[in-house]
A and B are shown apart, each in its own frame.
Chain A
Amino acid sequence: MSALIRMRLAGLLRGGRILAPAIAVLIVLGVIYGGGPSPAAVAYGYSAAALFPVLAWQTKVLLDTEPDGQRRLARVALGARREALAGLLAATWLGLFVSAVAMVAPWLFRGIETGRGVLSGTLLGVLAHLLAVPPAVAVGALAGRAVTRGVRNGVAVLVVAAVLVVVLGLQGSFAPWLVPPVMATARALNDVEPPPATTLIQLIVWAVLWCAAAFAIYARLRRTRS
């Protein structure tokens, strides 16, 4: 399966289709850190939330780079389950890499305030990005051509999901659990003081349950959609 993951990542890089999401990442980072240094937890909390739609989009781009025929050849070679899993893992690797870049880059431009709370803030930032990548991969995969079959449907799923993550994630939302806790994590980190452990555990459980549901739907759909 690792060979298929490498093949898909290589296809994305060589085909040049990574370029558009990469530019989007740079724009997001420029907007967040352009105004001068901010506390680590606050900055990283917003970075994870702002990157969420980009991470979902790059997942769709990664999965859609491969022609349908090649995805089916991979399915014959590896079996339906492992072919689908290889796509999700490739997207997860890419998401983690982009998150790492997004966390290291501000240090080069003094975007993070050094001093009190920088260590705990950075660790919380790592958590925030780890909570954002898997749901973003799930949204991107559900918007992928293998599932949605057409450009219009794919873009609609991606855009609607990205908007709902923000709208339903706002404070006082009527159904926050319908979306992953991306906005909730950003809010919890929007303070120099670290949030209480119970809040963090709550966010982790929420993200895990949401991802379990989303990936189950993806697995179910991919059984018949090759």
Chain B
Amino acid sequence: MRFDGVWFRYGRRADWTLQAIDATVEPGRTVVVLGRNGAGKSTLLQLAAGVLRPSRGAVLDRPPVIGWVPERFPADQPFTAGDYLHRMAEVRGQDPRAADEWIERLLLTEHTGTRLADLSKGTAQKVGLAQALTARPGLLILDEPWEGLDAVARTLIPEIVAEVTGAGGIVLVSDHRGEIATLPEATHWTIADATLSPAPPPSAPPSAPARPPARSHDEAPSHDEVVIEVAVPRATADRAVAELRATGHRVLRVRDEAGAPAGPQARDKAGAAAGPQARDEAGAEAGQQTRDEGLAG
């Protein structure tokens, strides 16, 4: 897909929102569009989706099936979530039941009977995701997809992006909160002063894509962090660590307490919640296998 000298403004007398955009995205690639509020990220994405038409220039070689997830889902409609998704599948010429797969995957099943207007913001956002994904898009456009989503749904987004690009599709994502760290191998575009530059913003050098806070995994928790102990099945430990890191959490260490009869041990390094069960750090290190280094970050 190619932006060929695309210029755009919202009215004849308005200032140019985007100027002379020339960019190419190869199939199977993810592009993260960065920029501050009002910089023109949404405009660029809507031009890519075909919602807006360039004032000059053209968007060429767009994949035929496009899924667009707007920043705000238009919830003011007299349909239930299930009815809406089935109807949108039909609008795309699909079997209405094609939507059921995504209703299930995005955990919308319990909301299918709820009117769109009564959904919470995050759930409405998931309905927006489901309508776009049901179409099996060759071009998926996500406008601030993390907005309002709960932790479970957040982990789904990198997964969904990987599925679309894995099938040779293109994904365009806008992001102003620096969640992009969860999308590995993404190309970064920055919009500033109505122009597009391919380099990441100065605050996020290419070697470490914007992952705030840019702290290493073995650094001790700071005063504005808390430590949550989580137990996961041994078989899925690697995946859990990857997912936690993907959502921007720092995994301090993994403890394998095989055979140890002890219950959950409070190990808050910050000391704030250290209870009677807290071990001293040296003892804990000795008593368990630390696998932190071996896991992919």
Verify A224–B53 contact, CB threshold 8 A: yes
Verify B79–A76 contact, CB threshold 8 A: no
Q: Which residues of A contact B46 (CB under 8 A)?
A: 72
Q: Which residues of B contact A66 (CB under 8 A)?
A: 77
Verify A67–B50 contact, CB threshold 8 A: no
Q: Which residues of B contact A152 (CB under 8 A)?
A: none
Verify A80–B50 contact, CB threshold 8 A: yes
| Interface-facing stretch out of B88-96, B163-171, B222-230, B238-246 | B88-96
Report the Cα distance A53→B203, complex, angstroms: 58
Chain A residues 63 to 86 lying within 8 A of chain B, measured CB to CB, are: 66-70, 72-80
Verify B74–A68 contact, CB threshold 8 A: yes
> Assuming the A-B contacts A3-B87, A75-B51, are A70 and B68 also in contact, with contact meaning beta carbons closer than 8 angstroms in the complex?
no
Min Cβ gap A149→B in Å is 10
Q: Which residues of A contact B76 (CB under 8 A)?
A: 67
Min Cβ gap B142→A in Å is 13
Verify B74–A67 contact, CB threshold 8 A: yes
Main SS of the interface on chain A?
helix
Is A30 interfacial (CB-CB < 8 Å)? no
Verify B53–A69 contact, CB threshold 8 A: no
Q: Which residues of B contact A68 (CB under 8 A)?
A: 74
Report the Cα distance A10→B93, complex, angstroms: 18
Verify B91–A76 contact, CB threshold 8 A: no
Q: Which residues of B contact A76 (CB under 8 A)?
A: 49-51, 66-68
Report the Cα distance A75→B135, complex, angstroms: 14
Report the Cα distance A14→B115, complex, angstroms: 12
Q: Which residues of B contact A6 (CB under 8 A)?
A: 87
Partner of A73, one of B74, B78, B79: B74
- For chain B, the count of residues having a C-beta within 8 Å of the partner chain is 25
Verify A69–B49 contact, CB threshold 8 A: no
Verify B68–A73 contact, CB threshold 8 A: yes
Verify A11–B79 contact, CB threshold 8 A: yes
Report the Cα distance A45→B73, complex, angstroms: 45
Partner of A69, one of B50, B52, B70: B70
Q: Which residues of A contact B92 (CB under 8 A)?
A: 77-78
Report the Cα distance A224→B51, complex, angstroms: 9
Q: Which residues of B contact A77 (CB under 8 A)?
A: 88, 91-92, 135
Report the Cα distance A223→B55, complex, angstroms: 11
Verify B90–A72 contact, CB threshold 8 A: no
Chain A residues 1 to 41 lying within 8 A of chain B, measured CB to CB, are: 3-4, 6-7, 10-11, 14-16
Q: Which residues of A contact B53 (CB under 8 A)?
A: 80, 223-224, 226
Verify B91–A78 contact, CB threshold 8 A: yes
Chain B residues with CB under 8 Å of chain A are 46, 49-53, 66-68, 70, 72-74, 76-79, 87-88, 90-93, 131, 135
Chain A residues with CB under 8 Å of chain B are 3-4, 6-7, 10-11, 14-16, 66-70, 72-80, 223-224, 226
8 A-B pairs with CB atoms under 8 Å apart are A3-B91, A69-B70, A73-B70, A76-B49, A76-B68, A77-B88, A77-B92, A226-B53
**7 closest Cβ pairs, A-B complex:** A69-B74, A3-B90, A67-B74, A14-B78, A70-B74, A15-B78, A76-B68
